[in-house]
Amino acid sequence: MTIDAMGCQRDIAQKIVDKKADYVLALKGNQGTLREDVELFATEQKANGFKDTKVSRHETVDGDHGRIETRTYTAIHDVAWLQERHDWPELKGVVMIPNAPQLAICCRLARRRSPFLTSAAGPTSASGRAGRSCGSHP
């Protein structure tokens, strides 16, 4: 189940887990220091080549409406520290979805990164598809 940032609350996550389902929740600025902590950690790990954490990646390339979009989904699986600090139900990972739309008309390249919390321990591609359907597109 996917829910945009409005639904990114611990009690909703707990209800989803109680129903034996997994969540992929968009993380915006309405969760105190949670997004800030996730972005700082992801930035530090990326600069360090992710050598201090377990990650998985999945890349997709789509062409539509005069642009080509390449998305590399990065799931960070070592999130015990985040779970301890923020106490999210069954948190298993953080999925970062950077967008790189390449506009064919003006050849402009813009990048934006959207973080998601997930209770799914499965493949990055599944979390990425969920994140894509949850409003991470430009």
Q: What is the CA radius of gyration of the chain?
A: 15
Query: Which tens digit of pLDDT belongs to each residue from 115-136?
Result: 888 998 765 544 444 444 444 4
Q: Are 68 and 83 in contact (CB under 8 A)?
A: no
pTM of the model: 0.69
Which token pair is 114? 């959207």
User: Which sequence spans correspond to the domains of the chain?
Assistant: 2-122
- pLDDT (0 to 100) of residue 119: 92
The amino acid at residue 10 is R
Q: What is the mean pLDDT of residues 82-107?
A: 74
List the one residue out of 17, 36, 135, 30 whose CA is nearest residue 94: 36
Q: How does residue 107 score in pLDDT terms, banded at 50, 70 and 90?
A: very low
